[in-house]
Amino acid sequence: MTAQSTGREDAPGGAVAVELRDGYLDLAHETGRSAFHYMWLRDNCGCHECRISQSGERALFTADIPDHIAPTSATVAETDARGPLLSLAWNDGHETRYSIRWLVAHDYSAGTRAQSGHLPILWDATLAAVPTFEHADVVGTVEGQLAYLDAIRDYGVAVVSGTPSVEREVERFAETVGHVRETAFERVHNVRHDPLGYNVAHTPLELKPHTDLPSYSWPPSIQLLHFLVNEATGGESTVTDGWAVVEDLRREDPAAFEVLARVPVSFQLFSQDEDTYATAPIIQLDPDGRVRTFRYSNQLAQPLDAAFDDVEAFYHAYRKLGRAIDSDRYKVVFKTSSGDLLTVHSHRVMHGRLAFDPASGGRHLQDVYMEYDDLMARRRVLLGHHIPEPADGGDA
Ligand SMILES: [Fe+2]
């Protein structure tokens, strides 16, 4: 026991009650109960000594907090428009004030954490239509841009129609909503029939669903594909929700899912002058076990270099995944028009195309890469969600 318990501290009206426990504080509030460790509370002191006022960055060096930090007293007072404030006097001589509203918003109890975080909308071939927006709305209005960014967040795919069919327009679009991610290859790639091209995309062959550049440890997470001209016969686009495919696999064949999340695969893409090479499992999970990164490019996969005992299980899982990806269960097939700009969240959604006849008409697209984080940052800024509320609720 490191804290001297002060018993219950009831706020006026009785809506808030605090109890000091061994190592943590128990808070009863209007919407339930929350608990916070003393180390966490001390670390998140928002006073002008512990935070840099102009930037909100932490000035307090967390490692300097005494091991046995604990409050010596706790009081709750209803002060002003910030609502009830909790004041803690610490055994290191410091004092901290927290707005109860801020504490409740930062509750990290298991129940609250399970409900937090945005869940994507997984989809398959029954998706009625790829979310589609007008170029003028996305680049010219806040509402239009937010709707587009919401679609990227929820579905991982969107089409922007009416994009001017001008060279490098895709780069201008990228810079309007975020930043271009440069790679070893051109900043703006041209995809058209090219007998000397370095990639199967430069042939008129079918392109199976894939994600680009799994040959980077961190592949580009957004890809923009701008169809300047699309008049050839065939060449329909495909999009496939890789997260939906692997979530179904996790349910239907958990052992296959486990193998794909564990066994590393190497990928390479090179040209005369450049080389990219990386090794990672096809599925990478976040700490809560949700799929975070999905990479799939059968054409770029290198000879498997796995433990002997994993090879059979890997091929079972990998071939099952491939058959699912190539089936009509998941693939959405649609013909883009000249001026369409397709965006995919490329750690999630695969793109591909059917074969086309290069003699039947022009087909030219330009693509650039971006990072999903930058698009979500733009979304938060447009919504005004990017400046955190101080722990003490700010100046009243
Ligand atoms: Fe591609």
Which H or E run includes 36?
Answer: strand 32-37
Q: What is the pLDDT of residue 387?
A: 84
Structure tokens at 29: 């509030």
The number of distinct structural domains making up the chain is 2
Quick one: which of 329, 292, 122, 314 has its CA closest to 218? 292
Asked if residue 167 and residue 102 are part of one domain, the reply reads no
Give the CATH number, domain containing residue 77. Answer: 3.30.2020.30
Q: What is the pLDDT of residue 92?
A: 95
Q: Residue 101 — φ and ψ, nearest 5°?
A: -60, -45
Asked if residue 345 and residue 198 are part of one domain, the reply reads yes
Question: Burial, 184: exposed, middle or buried (Cβ in 10 Å; 0-12, 13-18, 19+)?
Answer: middle
380 Cα: distance to centroid of ligand 1 (angstroms): 29
Q: Is residue 60 part of a domain?
A: yes
Residues 6+ apart with CB under 8 A from 141: none
Domain of residue 60 covers: 9-112
212 Cα: distance to centroid of ligand 1 (angstroms): 5
- Residues in the chain where the model's pLDDT stays below 50: 1-14
Asked if residue 177 and residue 105 are part of one domain, the reply reads no
Q: What is the pLDDT of residue 31?
A: 87
Q: What is the pLDDT of residues 108-161, one digit of tens each?
A: 988 777 777 789 999 999 999 999 999 999 999 999 999 999 999 999 999 999
Q: What is the pLDDT of residue 202?
A: 87
Structure tokens at 339: 């001026």
367 Cα: distance to centroid of ligand 1 (angstroms): 9
pTM (two decimals): 0.90
Asked if residue 63 and residue 165 are part of one domain, the reply reads no
Q: Is residue 179 part of a domain?
A: yes
130 Cα: distance to centroid of ligand 1 (angstroms): 18
Asked if residue 195 and residue 83 are part of one domain, the reply reads no
Q: Residue 109 — φ and ψ, nearest 5°?
A: -65, 160
Asked if residue 97 and residue 203 are part of one domain, the reply reads no
Q: Tokens 């290859």 map to which residue?
A: 185
Asked if residue 230 and residue 104 are part of one domain, the reply reads no
172 Cα: distance to centroid of ligand 1 (angstroms): 20
Asked if residue 294 and residue 343 are part of one domain, the reply reads yes
Output DSSP code: residue 83: E
Q: Is residue 37 part of a domain?
A: yes
Q: Is residue 388 part of a domain?
A: no
- Burial code of 333-349, b = ≥16 C-beta within 10 A, e = fewer? eeebebbbbbbbbbbbb
Q: Is residue 374 part of a domain?
A: yes
Q: Which amino acid is at 157?
A: V
Q: Is residue 120 part of a domain?
A: no
210 Cα: distance to centroid of ligand 1 (angstroms): 6
Number of H helices, E strands in the chain: 10, 23
Structure tokens at 263: 């066994």
List residues, by chain if needed, whose CB lies under 5 Å from ion ligand 1. 212
248 Cα: distance to centroid of ligand 1 (angstroms): 24
Q: What is the pLDDT of residue 149?
A: 98
